[in-house]
Chains A and B, each alone.
Chain A
Amino acid sequence: MNVFWKVFTSLIQREIRLAIRHGADSMMVVMFFVLVVVLFPLGVGPEPGILTRISAGVIWVAALLSAMLSMDRLFQTDFEDGSLDLLILTPQPLELLVLAKTIAHWLTTGLPLIIISPLLALLLNMETSGYGVLLAALALGTPTLSLIGTIGAALILGARRSGFLLSLLILPLFIPTLIFGVSAVDAALIDLPSKPQLLVLGGLLLASFALCPWASAAALRQAAE
């Protein structure tokens, strides 16, 4: 058990260290997130009423796209330099190592999105009653996106035109998270209870937490064959 935790935490540390030293990846995701959101007021016009109405949806769609953008590098570098083979050969179960990588991915890309999101909500003229729920929904939803995304990232290893392929594979699977994430914030904005939607988001998170590592690990094994 002790050895396992050591491997688990050192893998997370390695990923975070890599992300910090490369630097660009996390920053790029946040920049992309901000840029996509900023495009909307320019596209649909700056009327505050319209922006308030679409704020939750825009932030969620932008978060979805940024999560996807960061996904294709998740296993790609490990696949290219051979560390993926080492991960598969470690005696610890690959499913849990995938989970460690997912956690590191969320810490380096999902968490920054949550931190920056109130600022974007401000730019989109969201009412203050929605802020808390938006943060809660993103905190429950972005880990789900990371977990589902690992499946896609593992499946496309070595494929042609992998970036396009990734979006086709995982965006449909992101839809439930998007629907409940947006409706939670929308409910809060019209003073309805948003607890049901948050509970569904929590359920989605738990289900993908339990199931996604299996699928990703299976995909990684057959990619490394």
Chain B
Amino acid sequence: MFNYFANPTRFLRLTSKLQPIAMVVTLITMGAGLYYSLFQSPPDYQQSETVRMMYVHVPAAWMAMFCYVALAASSAVVLIWRHMVADIVAKSTAPIGACFTFLALATGSLWGKPMWGTWWVWDARLTSVLILFFLYLGYMVLYNAFDEPTRGARAAAILAIVGVINVPIIKFSVDWWNTLHQPASVVKMDGPAIHSSMLTPLLLMAVGYTAFYFWVLFIRSRAELSAYKVRALRIRQAEG
């Protein structure tokens, strides 16, 4: 199956079909999620209205890690099988993941001010997510630092795989260290510790964020493929 979609033409055909679907899913779930989270969910008994920050913050943090895993997985494919499509997916994922990470950090900071009384604390969760953000930046800068594009692609792929060690650290940082950040409350062995009136909008938003990722990913990777074609044509033209 991998090889099947590694063909850029098939990839283009598939994504041109999936892109509108991802767009519709994004608009519907995000719209419904926003409506539920802003109007239909109760305020928290301790945090009152600021709890609504959760519906933008938590999915962003999930997506920051999801994107990194996607980035590392496609980087592994780049290094092992040298598929061009995997390279394009990795390259297009990096800026989206960096934006999600920035969004998670920014909304967390805004939420931290009223709840913890500070914009930022140097606890394990916040620090490891900040490292994740730097890893994304490092990936993007390294990718573009070489005159020859394939060199940059492979060097950046190695960096992405090395950085994957940070993902379990982010996930378990709240369990391994005593942190100000609260531990996991949705994905737990004994079911979510969160009421369905809050869980529904949260999951809707999570689906919306994921669909948004794929939507943007399809746009970006199609643009990358076109840029690649243009480059190849230019080279052919220059060679006569």
Interface of B is mostly: helix
CA distance A161 to B141 in the complex (A): 10
CA distance A168 to B137 in the complex (A): 8
- Interchain CB contact under 8 A, A222 and B138: no
With CB as the reference atom, state the residue of chain B lying closest to A218. B158
CA distance A182 to B131 in the complex (A): 18
Most buried by A among B135, B146, B162: B162
With CB as the reference atom, state the residue of chain B lying closest to A161. B145
Q: Could you mark each residue 199-223 of chain A with 1 if its beta carbon is under 8 Å from any beta carbon of chain B, else 0?
A: 0000000000000000100110011
Q: Could you mark each residue 41-73 of chain A with 1 if its beta carbon is under 8 Å from any beta carbon of chain B, else 0?
A: 000000000000000000000000000000000
Q: How many inter-chain residue pairs (CB < 8 Å) link A and B?
A: 57
Which residues of the partner chain A approach B135 to less than 8 Å between Cβ atoms? 172
Distance of B115 from chain A, by nearest CB (Å): 24
B171 within 8 A of A: no
CA distance A171 to B138 in the complex (A): 10
With known contacts A155-B158, A168-B137, A218–B79 Cβ distance under 8 A: yes
Distance of B156 from chain A, by nearest CB (Å): 8
- The interface size bin for chain A is 20 to 34
A173 within 8 A of B: yes
CA distance A158 to B142 in the complex (A): 11
With known contacts A156-B145, A165-B142, A172–B155 Cβ distance under 8 A: no
A123 within 8 A of B: no
Chain B residues within 8 Å of chain A by Cβ, number? 21
- Interchain CB contact under 8 A, A173 and B162: yes
Most buried by B among A155, A162, A223: A155
- Interchain CB contact under 8 A, B155 and A168: no
B119 within 8 A of A: no
- Interchain CB contact under 8 A, B146 and A158: yes
Distance of B177 from chain A, by nearest CB (Å): 10
Which residues of the partner chain B approach A22 to less than 8 Å between Cβ atoms? none
CA distance A172 to B162 in the complex (A): 12
Q: Could you mark each residue 127-140 of chain B with 1 if its beta carbon is under 8 Å from any beta carbon of chain A, else 0?
A: 10001001101100
B159 within 8 A of A: yes
CA distance A161 to B147 in the complex (A): 12
With CB as the reference atom, state the residue of chain A lying closest to B158. A219
With known contacts A165-B141, A172-B131, A155–B161 Cβ distance under 8 A: no
Residue among A172, A218, A222, A223 making CB contact with B134, cutoff 8 Å:
A172
CA distance A179 to B158 in the complex (A): 25
B154 within 8 A of A: yes
A160 within 8 A of B: yes
Most buried by B among A162, A173, A219, A223: A173
Residue among B142, B151, B161, B162 making CB contact with A223, cutoff 8 Å:
B151
Which residues of the partner chain A approach B154 to less than 8 Å between Cβ atoms? 222
Distance of A225 from chain B, by nearest CB (Å): 8
With known contacts A168-B138, A175-B131, A159–B145 Cβ distance under 8 A: yes
Distance of A54 from chain B, by nearest CB (Å): 15
CA distance A166 to B116 in the complex (A): 35
Which residues of the partner chain B approach A161 to less than 8 Å between Cβ atoms? 145
Residue among A158, A173, A179 making CB contact with B151, cutoff 8 Å:
A158
Which residues of the partner chain B approach A173 to less than 8 Å between Cβ atoms? 131, 162-163
CA distance A165 to B146 in the complex (A): 11
Distance of B22 from chain A, by nearest CB (Å): 31
CA distance A222 to B162 in the complex (A): 15
With CB as the reference atom, state the residue of chain B lying closest to A207. B165
- Interchain CB contact under 8 A, B151 and A165: no
CA distance A196 to B159 in the complex (A): 29
With CB as the reference atom, state the residue of chain A lying closest to B140. A168
CA distance A96 to B153 in the complex (A): 25
Q: Could you mark each residue 173-193 of chain A with 1 if its beta carbon is under 8 Å from any beta carbon of chain B, else 0?
A: 101000100000000000000
- Interchain CB contact under 8 A, A151 and B145: no
With known contacts A159-B145, A175-B127, A222–B161 Cβ distance under 8 A: no
Pairs A–B under 8 Å by Cβ, sample size 8 = A155-B155, A155-B158, A160-B146, A165-B141, A172-B134, A173-B162, A215-B162, A218-B79
| A residues apposed to B, CB below 8 Å | 151, 155-156, 158-162, 165, 168-169, 171-173, 175, 179, 215, 218-219, 222-223
The 9 closest A-B pairs by CB, nearest first: A159-B145, A172-B134, A222-B154, A172-B131, A155-B155, A169-B138, A168-B138, A219-B158, A215-B162
